[in-house]
Amino acid sequence: MKKTIVVTGATDGIGRVCAHSFAKGQEELILVGRNPDKLAALVYSLQVTGATVHSYVADLSSAKETFLLSETIRKNHPKIDVLLNNAGAYFDQHTLTKEGIESTFALNHLNYFILTLGLLPSLKKAGEARIVNVASRAHMGVSLDFNDLLGEKEYSGWKQYQRSKLMNIYFTYELAERLNQTKITVNCLHPGFVKTRFGQNNDGLAKFLLTFAQNVFAISEEKGAETSIFLSTDPSVTSVSGKYFVKKKIEKSSEPSYDVAAGRNLWSYTEDLLKHKFSFKFPGF
């Protein structure tokens, strides 16, 4: 049976490879991207193969745009089988979104949280649905400072990126627990160090070093997309939830990532921020 799959960050890198893979499987695609021209070109390249494709332009670093996107997709697509949260970025310098939120936290964490909770009703209607969160092995070696989650006191681009990937894992584990009485699974993954446009939004030394490292050490986009595709479609993980995958295998994430209290604190912090700053109301569980 044809599945409906949402892919964020669909126009480049892993997201684009996943979109092409899903199209070959004749799945119905809902693609989200920030650049309208790139998104239109991707949609055209998939539609000429006969794929059913819907596209939505949104800046997922904006909480309001992400929330409105979730409402629009939910209205237009009452049943969703897979949500692949793939969009993310690295910001070397401390920058704020147009809503005044630190960019790494906004794009890499809030985006996953808002879109996922907004699409839960559509995922529930699919029955055995899947939520797949692209995290990273970069989460190793850090913990969260709840007195400075937004890097306002002390900012390191790499440390903030690491912490955002730890947040992806906390979000995965906590959501899996909250959905354990449903048939929705939630898993996260490390895609590998992939040769993509990752980091190209930066300037100077950070851009140079990332480009050099990718040219020397990185794996291909196709290789990097394998675990995302596996978790989104493979029958062997239909009932697996709350796990961290590397190279299509379950692995242990970092010791701090299993701190249940920290995961719940992050959830509460995020909910409170969205409630008080934006007055968002999610459809709920």
Going by C-alpha positions, the residue among 39, 34, 79 that lies closest to residue 60 is 34
Q: Do β-strands 243-246 and 249-251 pair in parallel, antiparallel, or remain unpaired?
A: antiparallel
Q: Which long-range contacts (CB under 8 A, 24 or more apart) does 39-45 make?
A: 39/10, 39/11, 42/10, 42/11, 42/16, 45/20
DSSP structure class, residue 179:
T
Task: Map tokens 């990532």 to a residue.
Answer: 257
Going by C-alpha positions, the residue among 220, 219, 227, 105 that lies closest to residue 171 is 105
Q: Tell me the sheet residues that pair with 189.
A: 134, 245
Instruction: Provide CB contacts within 8 A for 78, sequence distance 6+.
Output: 121, 122, 125
- Can 161 be counted among the known catalytic residues? yes
Catalytic option among 161, 170, 173, 244: 161
Residues with catalytic function: 161
